[in-house]
């Protein structure tokens, strides 16, 4: 096994170029000013009203998105576990099919669907129903997030659910448990690792997204991701962008640490 | 003794495959009943119908005279010990045992006492706080039993509970289960495909094949008086020969007339004859009922096992005295060791109806 160590070399190079070096660069820029002197200003900039609001909104929308995904995905996991039989794989395939389409395209499609004179309102209008005004609101952003990230919740939950031995469920019923007790005392604790990794896989990309808020928020909804993106691109202030990125990373790490506390065995965590 | 449990004309189909056909079974209170049969004969299905995990297509399940056919498993006064233990991996030993007690709303003190009592009963006194996933197979099995019996079920269902254990542990657990059964004074319904296990442990053995009950009786009864060729071959080793019942108490086997004790088969009627290998008496050539030559010899520990060619049939013989290969010997059989059975008229009938 040890002889084959060189096989890991490409992977190490990849980690080095893809993760370590960029991370070091961000840390460097985050703690320096335009002239290259050490400063904490880029970090403390998070306290600016505009930045703090964007971070708060990002955390809030990501949280709502995560909860909605969980509430949608868990019943799917339960139903797939109980029914579907040999068709399980196919149903999961259908559910995660959107994942195979380009992320930008998917989000853009929602923009077209939700627009005030878009597809949905066209249909509503032809049915003589009131049009919906949802585009460019936080609700539209959450909708886009849920649509984009739901498969990342379904997959890990389905995976742990499918592995739960049916004998355990029967044993619980045999010992007098009601359906509700089986859910709370057996299914939920046993599927916790899947729930945790699902939450991680949805929350992290949701809190950092800027594409969804840009497309579906119509430039009116600023999430921390949008601010950072603008600092790097429009304003060319990579120092401020790096500093804010570091703050966001810390928030994500704190969320993950809190989350992992629920997961005794740490099996499900991916961080 | 009254019937604690009754299956009345129970049938079950899985995808057009008739697994149980018009099965009737009565279980007396406080017995150790074993369902015995080859793989796929419907033992687990029968047990799961009793447990409430499967609803029969036809027929009724009675518990203490009351119809429970449609009662869900969590409402039945019976508990199951699952073949693969099915212990909850996210709970300790104690929490596993307490699961049913908590649901029925018992006090903490009662639960603590019960856990202690149950662990003592299965000889695992100090294990309450252990992680169940760290236990050996035999220990997990004991905890599964403890978890079931603390709920004081009137009937305990066990589906091949010793199937995954090694031989030595199996034998120990067999004795422990018998002891438990006697201490608890409850009814055990036990599923196994191991005939030795069935004979050792049970008060009543139910031999099943292809969804039918072939024979039901005490272990002695099943072993000594198999009702058909299936039971005879499935339980222990046996010589099964075609014969003709000449008249009451006389049967012709391989051209030789053997006195026997069976009556009521009519005259000159073709029958099947079962003779257990340990019931064949070998002796000096010419001094028995039939002569033959030893063709195989194996030492089995307690006895020798030999094959003897006689009358064109290869007899399986077990004896504590040894006759070397090639030696001419005589065979004789005591009349009461010859078991006569009706010959099945067709292949199909072999799996057929034995009403109990
Ligand atoms: N849920 C099911 N769906 C379809 N067929 C089933 C199902 N359960 C059992 N069967 C079939 O019913 C027949 C009897 O099964 P059962 O499990 O009762 O056998 P068994 O006597 O317990 O066998 P074993 O000793 O192998 O456990 C088998 O042919 C099996 O394939
Ligand atoms: Mg079985």
DSSP collapsed to 3 states, A239-267: HHHHHHHHHHHHHHHHHHHHHHHHCCCCC
Q: Please report whether residue B230 resides in a domain.
A: no
Q: What dihedral do alpha carbons A257, A261, A262, A267 form, nearest 10°?
A: 80
Instruction: Please determine, for residue B66, whether its predicted confidence score (pLDDT) is greater than 80.
Output: yes
DSSP state of A7: G
Structure tokens at B22: 């018009």
| Closest atom of ligand 1 relative to the B43 alpha carbon | 21
Nearest residue in chain B measured CA to CA from A175: B100
Tell me the chain B residues in contact with residue A263 when contact means C-beta distances shorter than 8 Å: none
Per-residue confidence (pLDDT) for residue B345, from 0 to 100 = 64
Per-residue confidence (pLDDT) for residue A264, from 0 to 100 = 55
Q: How many alpha carbons lie under 13 Å from residue A176 in its C-beta half-sphere?
A: 19
B104 with B44, same domain: the answer is yes
B165 with B273, same domain: the answer is no
Q: CB of B212 within 8 A of CB of B12?
A: no
Q: Is B156 close to ligand 1, i.e. is its CB under 6 Å away?
A: no
Q: Kindly report, residue by residue over B32-61, the tens digit of the pLDDT.
A: 999 999 999 999 999 999 999 999 999 999
Structure tokens at B261: 């004790």
Q: Please report whether residue B220 resides in a domain.
A: yes
Per-residue confidence (pLDDT) for residue B131, from 0 to 100 = 94
CATH number assigned to the domain comprising residue B136? 3.40.50.300
Q: Print the domain residue range for B149.
A: 3-224
For ligand 1, pick from B41, B47, B164, B207 the residue to mutate: most ligand atoms within 8 Å of CB: B41
Per-residue confidence (pLDDT) for residue B2, from 0 to 100 = 85
- Residue A57 C-alpha from the chain's centroid: 15
DSSP state of B285: T
CATH number assigned to the domain comprising residue B289? 2.40.50.140
B137 with B7, same domain: the answer is yes
B17 with B146, same domain: the answer is yes
Q: Please report whether residue B232 resides in a domain.
A: no
The residue among B105, B94, B102, B175 whose CA lies nearest residue B127 is: B94
Q: Please report whether residue B229 resides in a domain.
A: no
Structure tokens at B217: 């009786």
- The position carrying tokens 């056909």 is B21
List, in order, residues 6 or more apart from A3 with CB less than 8 Å away.
none
Give CA–CA dist A8/B139, Å, rounded.
Answer: 42
**Mean pLDDT of all residues in chain A?**
88
B155 with B292, same domain: the answer is no
Last residue of a domain, one of B170, B191, B224: B224
B209 with B322, same domain: the answer is no
Instruction: Please determine, for residue A84, whether its predicted confidence score (pLDDT) is greater than 50.
Output: yes
The residue among A15, A10, A67 whose CA lies nearest residue A202 is: A67
Phi and psi, residue B217, nearest 5°? 175, -175
**Nearest CB to B74; choose among A165, A167, A177:** A177
Q: Given its phi and psi angles, is residue B286 left (phi above 0), alpha (psi -120 to 50 degrees) or beta?
A: left
Report all structural domains of chain A as residue ranges with CATH numbers, in order of start: 18-37+64-262 (1.10.3720.10)
Q: Kindly report, residue by residue over B195-230, the tens digit of the pLDDT.
A: 989 999 999 999 999 989 999 999 999 998 898 889
Per-residue confidence (pLDDT) for residue A80, from 0 to 100 = 87
Per-residue confidence (pLDDT) for residue B349, from 0 to 100 = 46
B198 with B241, same domain: the answer is no
What radius of gyration do chain B's Cα atoms show? Answer: 24
Nearest residue by C-alpha to atom 13 in ligand 1:
B40
**Nearest CB to A181; choose among B73, B103, B148:** B103
**Mean pLDDT of all residues in chain B?**
91
Contact at CB, B80 and A190, closer than 8 angstroms: no
Give CA–CA dist A224/A61, Å, rounded.
Answer: 11
Q: Find the range with the poorest average confidence among A140-144, A258-262, B176-180.
A: A258-262
Determine the average pLDDT of the residues in B226-244.
90
The residue among A100, A127, A98 whose CA lies nearest residue A110 is: A98
* Confidence label for A263 from pLDDT (cuts 50, 70 and 90): low
Q: Kindly report, residue by residue over A170-209, the tens digit of the pLDDT.
A: 999 999 999 999 999 999 999 999 999 999 999 999 999 9
Helix ranges, A16-102 (H): 21-30, 41-44, 49-82, 88-96
Statement: the pTM of the whole predicted model exceeds 0.90: no
B132 with B20, same domain: the answer is yes
C-alpha distances out from residue A12 to A15, A18, A21, A28, Å: 5, 10, 12, 22
Contact at CB, B88 and A176, closer than 8 angstroms: no
* Number of domains making up chain B: 2
Nearest residue by C-alpha to atom 29 in ligand 1:
B40
Contact at CB, B86 and A175, closer than 8 angstroms: no
Q: Please report whether residue B334 resides in a domain.
A: yes
Q: Is B210 close to ligand 1, i.e. is its CB under 6 Å away?
A: no
B39 with B135, same domain: the answer is yes
Give CA–CA dist B311/B246, Å, rounded.
Answer: 18
DSSP state of A147: H
Q: Kindly report, residue by residue over B314-352, the tens digit of the pLDDT.
A: 999 999 999 999 999 999 999 999 999 888 765 444 444
B72 with B136, same domain: the answer is yes
Question: Strand order of the sheet with strand B239-247?
Answer: B256-259, B250-253, B239-247, B269-275, B339-342
Last residue of a domain, one of B224, B255, B283: B224
Q: Please report whether residue B264 resides in a domain.
A: yes
Per-residue confidence (pLDDT) for residue A160, from 0 to 100 = 93
> Angle B75-B45-B21 (CA atoms, 0-180°, nearest 5)?
115
B8 with B72, same domain: the answer is yes
Q: Please report whether residue B261 resides in a domain.
A: yes
CA of residue B96 to ligand 2 center, whole Å: 24
Give CA–CA dist B233/A121, Å, rounded.
Answer: 77
B185 with B249, same domain: the answer is no
Q: CB of A136 within 8 A of CB of A217?
A: yes
Give CA–CA dist B289/B178, Å, rounded.
Answer: 42
* Confidence label for A129 from pLDDT (cuts 50, 70 and 90): confident
Q: Please report whether residue B76 resides in a domain.
A: yes
Contact at CB, B88 and A181, closer than 8 angstroms: no
Give CA–CA dist B188/B177, Å, rounded.
Answer: 9
Nearest residue by C-alpha to atom 2 in ligand 1:
B14
Per-residue confidence (pLDDT) for residue B122, from 0 to 100 = 87
Q: How many residue pairs bridge chain A and chain B with CB atoms within 8 Å of each other?
A: 54
CA of residue B41 to ligand 2 center, whole Å: 8
Last residue of a domain, one of B224, B250, B270: B224
List, in order, residues 6 or more apart from B286 with CB less than 8 Å away.
B330
């Amino acid at each position: 096994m040890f002889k084959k160590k060189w096989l890991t070399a490409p992977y190490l190079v990849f980690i080095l170029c893809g993760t370590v070096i960029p991370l070091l660069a961000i840390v460097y820029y985050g703690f320096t000013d335009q002239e290259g002197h050490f400063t904490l200003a880029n970090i403390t900039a998070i306290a600016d009203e505009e930045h703090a609001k964007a971070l708060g909104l990002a955390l809030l929308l990501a949280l709502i998105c995560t909860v909605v995904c969980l509430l949608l995905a868990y019943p799917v996991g339960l139903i797939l576990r109980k029914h579907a039989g040999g068709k399980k794989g196919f149903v999961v395939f259908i559910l995660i099919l959107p994942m195979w389409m380009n992320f930008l395209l998917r989000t853009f499609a929602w923009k077209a669907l939700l627009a005030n004179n878009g597809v949905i309102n066209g249909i509503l209008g032809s049915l003589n129903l009131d049009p919906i005004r949802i585009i460019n609101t936080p609700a539209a952003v959450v909708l886009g997030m849920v649509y984009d990230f739901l498969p990342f919740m379904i997959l890990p939950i389905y995976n742990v659910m499918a592995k739960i031995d049916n004998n355990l469920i029967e044993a619980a019923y045999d010992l007098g448990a009601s359906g509700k007790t089986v859910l709370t005392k057996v299914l939920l604790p046993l599927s916790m690792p899947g729930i945790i990794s699902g939450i991680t896989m949805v929350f992290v990309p949701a809190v950092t997204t800027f594409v969804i808020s840009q497309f579906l928020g119509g430039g009116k909804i600023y999430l921390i991701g949008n601010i950072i993106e603008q600092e790097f691109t429009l304003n060319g202030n990579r120092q401020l962008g790096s500093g804010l990125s570091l703050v966001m990373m810390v928030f994500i790490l704190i969320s993950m640490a809190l989350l992992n506390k629920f997961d005794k065995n740490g099996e499900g965590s991916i961080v | 003794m009254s019937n604690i449990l009754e299956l009345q004309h129970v049938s079950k189909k899985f995808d057009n495959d008739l697994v149980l056909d018009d099965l009737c079974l009565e279980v007396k209170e406080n017995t150790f009943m074993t369902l015995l049969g080859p793989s796929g004969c419907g033992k687990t299905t029968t047990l799961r119908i009793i447990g409430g995990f499967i609803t029969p297509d036809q027929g009724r399940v009675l518990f203490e005279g009351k119809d429970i056919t449609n009662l869900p498993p969590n409402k039945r006064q019976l508990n199951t010990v699952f073949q693969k233990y099915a212990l909850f991996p996210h709970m300790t030993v104690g929490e596993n045992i307490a699961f049913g007690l908590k649901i029925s709303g018992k006090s903490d003190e009662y639960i603590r006492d019960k856990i202690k009592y149950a662990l003592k009963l299965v000889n695992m006194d100090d294990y309450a706080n252990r992680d169940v996933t760290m236990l050996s197979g035999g220990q997990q099995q004991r905890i599964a039993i403890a978890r079931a019996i603390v709920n004081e079920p009137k009937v305990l269902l066990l589906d091949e509970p010793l199937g995954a254990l090694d031989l030595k542990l199996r034998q120990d657990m067999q004795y422990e289960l018998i002891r438990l059964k006697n201490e608890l004074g409850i009814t055990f319904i036990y599923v196994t495909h191991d005939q030795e296990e069935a004979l050792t442990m049970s008060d009543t053995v139910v031999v099943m094949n292809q969804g039918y009950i072939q024979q039901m009786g005490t272990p002695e009864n099943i072993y000594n008086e198999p009702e058909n060729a299936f039971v005879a071959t499935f339980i222990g080793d046996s010589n099964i020969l075609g014969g003709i019942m000449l008249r009451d108490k006389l049967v012709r086997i391989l051209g030789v007339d053997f006195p026997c004790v069976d009556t009521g088969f009519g005259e000159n009627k073709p029958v099947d004859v079962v003779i257990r290998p340990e019931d064949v008496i070998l002796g000096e050539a010419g001094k028995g009922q039939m002569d033959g030559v030893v063709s195989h010899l194996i030492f089995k520990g307690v006895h020798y096992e030999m094959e003897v060619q006689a009358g064109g049939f290869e007899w399986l013989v077990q004896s504590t005295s040894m006759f070397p290969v090639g030696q001419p010997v005589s065979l004789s059989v005591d009349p009461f060791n010859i078991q006569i059975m009706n010959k099945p008229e067709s292949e199909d009938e072999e799996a057929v109806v034995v009403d109990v």
